[in-house]
Structures are given as C-alpha cells and as structure tokens.
Amino acid sequence: MEKTDLVLVGGGIVGLACARAYLELFPTSTVAVLEKEPEVGLHQSGRNSNVLHSGLYYKPGSYKAKLCRKGALAMKEFCQGENLPYLECGKVVVATKASELSRLHDLHERALTNGVNCRLIEKAELKEIEPQATGLKALHVPEAAVVDYKEVCNELARQLQSQGAQIFLGTAVKDIQSEPDSIVFDTEIGPIKAKQGINCAGLYSDKIAAMCGLKPKARVIPFRGEYFALSSKAEGMIRGMIYPTPNPRFPFLGVHFTPTAMGGAECGPNAVPALAREGYRWRDIHLRECAHILSWPGTWALLARYGPTALAEVARSLSKSAFTKALQKLVPAIQKGDLLLHPSGVRAQTVLRNGTLVDDFMWMRSNRMLHVLNAPSPAATASLAIGRFVIQKVCST
C-alpha cells in the first residue's frame, strides 16, 4: 500500500496550493495529490473569469477579505516570477442608475477598509478610461489584473513534482477510512495511507466530507456561469474590466467584461442552476445529483427567496438577446453578433439548510482530515494564501 505524510483530495488550485504550502514548511515530507481527472485544474480552477481580485467586495475581517489581499500579492509574484500570463488591465465598477450610487459609495468604503487602492471617478473620467462604457459614476481600481489559473495549476503541479510530490491523475477517491494512527483513501489504483488528509474536492467536497462521517450543516449546490468570447471587432471596445455595481443581496457579481491575459476578451458569467455538479450545459443532467440537490431544504428556501432573480438569469441563459441587453447597460455599443461561444464554469456554492448562501470560506475537521467546504470566488486569487492558512490549521491539531 502507498504510504505518505499528507494526501490532498482534489488537484484544483486550492489542493495544489495546500500541497505547495506543506512542502514549504516540511520540505522532506511526502505528499500525494489525488485527482480524478486526467489533468489538474479542469473544473472550477480552469473554467473561471481569471480575475485576480483586489478585495473590494468582501466583508472586512472575513477570511475572504484577509486571504484575498494576501493571496493576490502572492499570485502576482508567482505569475511574474514564473513568466505566466499576467495583465494589469485595471477595472471599473460602474453605477448605471441613480439607485446604484449609494451602493457604489458603500463599496468604495468597504474597499478602502480592505486596503484596496481605488477611487471614485465621475462620468467624464470614466469616458477617458473606458470610452465605450456608460455610467453615472464608477469605482476605478487601477491595479486589478487578469491571469490564467489553468496555467497556474499546471505550473504548481510541475513544481510540486520536481519537489518530490506525487500527483495521481485519473484517481478518484471512492471511500475513506479512519484508522487509529492513519487515514486510508480507497482509490481506483488501490488504497493510499496517510498521516493526514485535506479535502479540496470543490464541487464534491461535501461528498468527501460525508465519506469521513461528517454531516455538514450545508450542501454544495452547483451554479453554472456562462460566458461569451467577444469578436475581434468588439474586443477593442474594452480596455480593462467593466463590472456593474453588485447588489449585496446577491452572491454573484453580475455579467461583466474581462480582457484575457493572453489577448482577447470575454463577457459573463451569469448564474443559473446546474443540473449536475459538473453540468456545463443545460443538457448535462445527472438524475442522482439533481435528486440530492432537490432533497436539500436549502434549495427550496433559496428558490423561494431568489425565484424572480433566478428566472431572469435563466432567461438570459436561454436568450442571447437578453444576455446582450444586460451587457448593453455597461457598453451600449455591444451587439448580439459580437458574442461568440465560450466554455462555461460551475461554481461550488455551499448553501445552508435555511437557504442562506455561505458567503465566506468554510472549513471543518474530522479525524486526521481538514475539509475545505466552501471555496468560491475569490478562492483562485486567494489560493496561495489559503494554502498557507490551511496548512497552519492542519499543523495546529
């Protein structure tokens, strides 16, 4: 039987960052990453907006606020140090209606509390920064950047392997048993024994927790985020990121424009319920997973609370015209024909029994295991800081 000091379940950016942080502290120890897919970073970590978030949105003092700032600095250093794609394109968050102005001011206050370098700008300055954007006022974040998290995952994996870590691809964890002095992971390639484990399984993190006998108070509900790529004609309409003013009642930021670090630009993501944990299209339906989602009281409470918003999101998903209309609130010149097909992503959003969306990162322990149970955006930005934080937690047991 394979034996190791630490097992990471999940080769997404969080699992890889935890492995890196462990080897930073204990360079002579043995580490194994177990990933069910043939490559690292194929799910959330490789299907997202690639934004290096600056820390505007998060409740001061929360894990998100603390780890996003630290993580963004570490990620910038990592990408620049390793020559990975990094583009400091800046960002504007735009208020397009008078009713959004007070929310924009609140966001500015919050961003300053979180230590973000940003300022409010008037219409005329918005036009200088983003000539095609429309708005009454905006928050300008000059340091905001985009990266390529799939490339980051590939580089982290490469470095881990050169430090002696084993990355088992195509190796799904089927079950987990706790023994008095170890924990055993049953996998397709046989059992792997470890002193400790960390669950970084993203969309399946609650299932891995259940294998360890935990009954988390929350369940992962998958929300798909759909994107379009901008045609080469429309790419020139944006210089940096253009976001709407978010509604703090909703967890997602609203469709926005994002340049990509390697050239080109995208828009999205919306947020629609996925019919499978890895349901990247409406036709990806997994009946057992749907039943699991629908049997959770939180799903129904969520629908009751956000029903009309959810319906509007579904309409935008089914109608490109409706999607375009949402984008035109930010950039009126954008046309339906400028939007080209692009892969979607699915967010692992943890939802409590009463329908509350868990906002902050969330962890739980079981015997010899630490479970990362909610790592939504900005967890890719924050990943290197999350890795260090989680390893400190693991070592303090």
- Asked if residue 229 binds ligand FAD (CB under 6 A), the reply is no
Give me the least distance between CB of 102 and ligand FAD, in Å please: 26
**Count of residues in the chain:** 397
- Asked if residue 44 binds ligand FAD (CB under 6 A), the reply is yes
21 and 386 Cβ atoms separated by less than 8 Å: no
| Among positions 8, 31, 53, 90, the unique one binding ligand FAD when judged by CB under 6 A | 53
| Among positions 11, 55, 85, 273, the unique one binding ligand FAD when judged by CB under 6 A | 11
Question: Tokens 């709407």 identify what position?
Answer: 244
Give me the least distance between CB of 11 and ligand FAD, in Å please: 5
- Identify which of residues 187 and 299 has a Cβ nearer to ligand FAD in the complex: 187
- Asked if residue 34 binds ligand FAD (CB under 6 A), the reply is yes
- Asked if residue 160 binds ligand FAD (CB under 6 A), the reply is no
Give me the least distance between CB of 156 and ligand FAD, in Å please: 11
Give me the least distance between CB of 249 and ligand FAD, in Å please: 20
- Asked if residue 246 binds ligand FAD (CB under 6 A), the reply is no
Question: Tokens 């894990």 identify what position?
Answer: 63
Tell me, residue by residue from 340 to 369, as one string, x for binding to ligand FAD by CB under 6 A and - for no binding. Answer: -----xxx----------------------
Q: Which part of the chain contacts ligand FAD (CB under 6 A), choosing from 49-57, 99-107, 117-125, 287-295? A: 49-57
- Identify which of residues 296 and 363 has a Cβ nearer to ligand FAD in the complex: 363
Tell me, residue by residue from 267 to 306, as one string, x for binding to ligand FAD by CB under 6 A and - for no binding. Answer: --x-------------------------------------
- Asked if residue 14 binds ligand FAD (CB under 6 A), the reply is yes
- Amino acid occupying residue 11: G
**Alpha carbons 308 and 288: distance in angstroms, whole number:** 26
- Asked if residue 66 binds ligand FAD (CB under 6 A), the reply is no
**Alpha carbons 173 and 190: distance in angstroms, whole number:** 10
| Among positions 4, 49, 54, 270, the unique one binding ligand FAD when judged by CB under 6 A | 49
Q: Which residues bind ligand FAD (CB under 6 A)?
A: 9-15, 34-37, 42-45, 47-51, 53, 172-173, 200-204, 225, 269, 345-347, 375-381
